[in-house]
């Protein structure tokens, strides 16, 4: 499969070709590890790709989903029936390139219409090397995944027969035990001091005279997280996933952030070791999101487990007594509440669909984590206050 450079500029709608009948009729096939075969038509890049088949229930945000590093190694089934209506633009990327391996859709819009559109989704998928299949009964596929759980699968639009694809799928590793954070993390430290470039995002907060110095550990960090930290008055230095405590403390941070990311949290051994060391700094504020939240729990002696089909979408209710937040989520693992030490940890939020741990806080240290994504803005901004909470802890320490 040929990949184009990740930083290639987006084409304008005039330059992006519409789907021709000859090109649009290229057959494609999706094969699951249980032998299920679904046939459709190719979209995106031509080729074949293997990964974990999951589904996302969001009605918007396909560009953010496809570029979210937390989707590394996965083939995403979009439950919304038509994708690509608003095209693709340069402001909504969560990373410099797509991280999802494959895209599974019911219908792909050939002619996008939006004032921010810079390219069609199909053309962008081709440039990013993301293999896709369209024309699939995604409702039936999602029911299958809900009943049997997330499962490995493969998409092919290069003529590979289903039997050969099934052999490749069965030989692919399970998501359990995979440290994908090490693959998507930055290789070199870098700084970030820019809020969102989107002119309509007016959620900037009052800025302190001196920005708060934050060190963010990149396990697959989303760009929107960096933008929200800056919007709340922080200047961020991003370190690789294998950063050590001396490297962190050398930067004299006022707070440390543990990012989201893909794969099995229990396999991110270096991140767990760093979190344990950070917990030995009793006055240092620490904030974790998604994988970072799970790493905190594991560093505290807890255990994680794989969810049947994960939580991926924009409308998951999470609550604490007397309060409910509608949240954006993307994770296939969760913390076991019974494994967390109650004398040290307080579970502050639960996922109200299945009662799994949605947020935790330490009782006697300025440390907390949330399983969902407070930086996401799919409509409600219910959870953005968690960034303010992190800043307040740094202000109190200062």
How is residue 255 written in tokens?
Answer: 């707070």
Is 290 an annotated catalytic residue?
A: yes
How is residue 232 written in tokens?
Answer: 């709340």
The residue from 144, 293, 316, 373 that is catalytic is 373
Element (H, E) at 369: strand 367-370
Beta strands in 12-134, from DSSP E residues, in sequence order: 27-32, 37-44, 48-56, 74-78, 82-83, 102-104, 107-108, 131-134
> What does DSSP say about strands 190-192 and 131-134: parallel, antiparallel, or unpaired?
unpaired
Is 343 an annotated catalytic residue?
A: no
Distance of CA 26 to the CA centre of its chain: 30
How far apart are the C-alpha atoms of 66 and 100, rounded to whole Å? 5
| C-beta separation of 238 from 218 below 8 A | yes
Query: What are 45's strand-pairing partners?
Result: 131
How far apart are the C-alpha atoms of 285 and 368, rounded to whole Å? 8
Among the listed residues 328, 365, 322, the one whose alpha carbon sits nearest the alpha carbon of residue 346: 365
Pinpoint the alpha helices (H) of 212-253.
Answer: 223-231, 245-250
DSSP 304: E
How far apart are the C-alpha atoms of 321 and 207, rounded to whole Å? 31
Distances (CA, A) of 313 to 298, 389, 398: 25, 24, 37
How is residue 146 written in tokens?
Answer: 């809900």
The residue from 290, 293, 325, 386 that is catalytic is 290
How far apart are the C-alpha atoms of 211 and 31, rounded to whole Å? 51
How far apart are the C-alpha atoms of 298 and 37, rounded to whole Å? 38
How far apart are the C-alpha atoms of 178 and 171, rounded to whole Å? 15
| C-beta separation of 62 from 121 below 8 A | yes
The residue from 227, 270, 325, 375 that is catalytic is 375
Distances (CA, A) of 368 to 258, 284, 376: 10, 11, 18
Q: What is the largest CA-CA distance in the chain?
A: 65
| C-beta separation of 294 from 265 below 8 A | yes
Is 293 an annotated catalytic residue?
A: no
Catalytic site residues? 290, 373, 375
């Amino acid at each position: 499969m040929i990949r184009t450079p990740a930083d290639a500029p987006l084409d304008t709608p005039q330059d992006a070709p519409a789907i021709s009948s000859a090109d649009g009729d290229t057959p494609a096939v999706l094969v699951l590890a249980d032998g299920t075969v679904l046939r459709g038509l190719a979209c995106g890049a031509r080729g074949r790709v293997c990964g974990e088949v999951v589904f996302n229930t969001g009605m918007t945000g396909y560009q953010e989903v496809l570029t979210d590093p937390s989707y590394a190694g996965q083939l995403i089934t979009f439950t919304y029936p038509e994708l690509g209506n608003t095209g693709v633009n340069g402001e909504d990327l969560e990373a410099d390139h797509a991280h999802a391996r494959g895209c599974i859709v019911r219908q792909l819009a050939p002619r996008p219409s939006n004032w921010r559109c810079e390219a069609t989704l199909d053309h962008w998928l081709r440039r990013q090397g993301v293999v896709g299949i369209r024309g699939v009964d995604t409702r039936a596929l999602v029911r299958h995944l809900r009943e049997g759980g997330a499962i490995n699968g493969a998409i092919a639009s290069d003529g590979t027969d289903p039997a050969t694809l099934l052999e490749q799928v069965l030989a692919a590793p399970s998501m359990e035990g995979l440290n994908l954070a090490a693959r998507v993390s930055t290789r070199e430290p870098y700084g970030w001091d820019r809020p969102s470039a989107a002119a309509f995002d007016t959620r900037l907060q009052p800025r302190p005279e001196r920005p708060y110095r934050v060190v963010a550990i990149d396990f697959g960090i989303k760009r929107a997280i960096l933008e929200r930290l800056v919007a709340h008055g922080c200047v961020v230095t991003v370190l690789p996933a294998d950063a050590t405590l001396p490297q962190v403390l050398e930067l004299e941070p006022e707070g440390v952030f543990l990012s989201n990311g893909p794969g099995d949290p229990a396999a991110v051994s270096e991140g767990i070791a760093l979190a344990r060391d950070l917990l030995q700094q009793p006055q240092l504020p620490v904030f974790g999101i998604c994988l970072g939240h799970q790493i905190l729990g594991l560093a505290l002696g807890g255990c994680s487990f794989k969810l049947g089909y994960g939580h991926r979408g924009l409308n998951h209710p999470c609550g604490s007594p007397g309060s409910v937040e509608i949240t954006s989520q993307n994770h296939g693992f969760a913390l076991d509440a019974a494994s967390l030490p109650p004398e040290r940890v307080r579970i502050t939020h639960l996922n109200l669909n299945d009662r799994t741990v949605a947020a935790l806080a330490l009782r006697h240290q300025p440390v907390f984590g949330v399983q969902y994504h407070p930086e996401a803005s799919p409509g409600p901004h219910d959870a953005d206050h968690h960034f303010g909470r992190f800043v307040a802890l740094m202000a109190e320490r200062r």
